Structure 1
Amino acid sequence: MKKKIYIAGAGGMLGEAFYRIFKDEYEVKCTDKDVNEKWLSFLDFRDFEKYKREVETFKPDYLFHLGAYTDLEFCELNLDDTYLTNTTAVENAVFIANNIDIPLLYISTAGIFDGTKDFYDDWDEPNPLGHYARSKYMGERYVRENAKRYIICRAGWMMGGGPYKDKKFINKIIKQLAGGKRDLHIVNDKDGTPTFTVDFAKNVKLLIEKEYWGLYNLVCNGETSRLEVAEELVRILGLENEVTFHEVSSSYFKDTYFAPRPPSERLINKKLELRNMNIMRDWKIALGEYIDDYYVDYLKEKNIYSTKEDTITL
């Protein structure tokens, strides 16, 4: 008999990967306030009574709490909504999981650090700069201090979900290229670690099955910057002879991206490595697979073609 997982907040890029990786071996119930897939049903997990009733009726073996507001500018402008969604709802999830004695999965972020160090391992002390980071860190702390059994995974620069779910850096660059832009302004003062949602979900599955509870940094291998990620993406698409990069500081985008961001969000999967549980791949390999698996039809439609044999072939 299959074990059951209730996945709350599964309508985004991460939920898509978790559904993909867990659906065959587990009975999964996926909910979100945005029902954008046939395998989703409606739940606003900020409604504590409905969240509790939904989970208890399903009788899961695990509760995965995935959803959050991740738009930093939105979070800076909508504090009550941000803390209700990113912090208070997490407290609800802890209570529900504890009440029926099941493990809880919570997703944290590299953004909880202040960027004064080049790299952060699992034991470095967070110091969030903005309200998105603070709301996520307060959720992380509540899980650590109150959940009976939990896995907390800190993700880096997320990539996944494809052209209609990815609201992050990769998709923003692809949309610019699809729109005909060949002059790209990329910040040169932000370092981090990409995290492919599918690899992330696979590594979580390994931790769940081994019952290695606790807090883990969980990002792709390899250090990088925004500029290097953009350059690698353009190389994968075979457009390096067409695209010109203009390096700018973050202040260039200050009107659009005004929320504080740390200069370094680079994580090291130290605990995973010590437990011999780090199956995350190098970010360049993951990026290539992401484009190949999720963007072929979109790129064909937009007439972006690669001429390189070692990259995506359209």
Structure 2
Amino acid sequence: FLPTGSKPYQQYVDHDQSSLVSILKEYGYDCTAIHPGQRSAWQRDTAYPYLGFDKFIDVDAFTVNRTFEHRLTSDRSSYDQVIAEYENRGDDPLFLFNVTIQNHGGYEDENFRTTVQVAEAAGEFPQAEQYLSLTKKSDQALEELIGYFSQQEDPVVILFFGDHWPNLESGFLTQLLGQDSDRLSFENIMREYEVPFLIWANYPLEGQEIQQISLNYLSGLLLRSAGLQGTGYTKFVEQVRQVFPVITANGMIDREGSYYKIGESTPYDDLLNEYAMLQYNNAFGLEGKAEGLFSIG
């Protein structure tokens, strides 16, 4: 519901915010953010404390040896830091928010050894093949991380998700989407932000395949996977998900599979308006904030 192109960390997160972090802190969690980049990037160094994090580990605070993929900190190193934080945790439960950087663009490193080729078009899309080779390395690092935590006695739940497709050759995107990448339909523009997500735990979880969901709902799924109650606000957001499983800055998809661009009228505008008002109250309400809606108390 924020203006298209806005940067919330830099523009709006300038005071304490209710968040997944603040909910977990109410449950007694220590909360740590990890990002193998500069502290000031996207003003994480100021935004993270306002979101409730106790500690922020940037590239200069890594305690593990770092390896690199196309000049960026590898996912394996990022996961090694996660494991180091886990092994050196205190008596309280621990929440880690880790933003990896290995597969960030661009994909034109001439010294990078490509291991994945595009079927029936090998060598035609070197950027795509470099990106896919990087994601293969991410898969291997992910396997090692899950292997480590599968052996731990403490209950551990991990949520993995991405943010958007990489910026690759237009010809590759045209082949992938079946439409000229310079004249994409609204549905295909939405597809460029469609990424997989996974919730894994080292204890039994009820298996569920969710075909469509947007980022704003993932914290509720994570809380339930960890056996934790949410707030009045998170319960309302889950009700919204049953009607609008996808709400993004670009557009929305309702439960019938209908697409709506931002600003278009929908049959559920009253519900969306209520959601927008609650988000506004959380982010900007200050003295008028309905605190009870955003806490577990």
TM-score of the aligned structures, taking structure 1 as reference length: 0.38
> Which structure has the highest strand share of the two?
1
Structure index of larger Rg = 2
TM-score of the pair, normalised by structure 2: 0.40
Of structures 1 and 2, the one scoring higher in RCO (CA 8 A, sep 6+) is 1
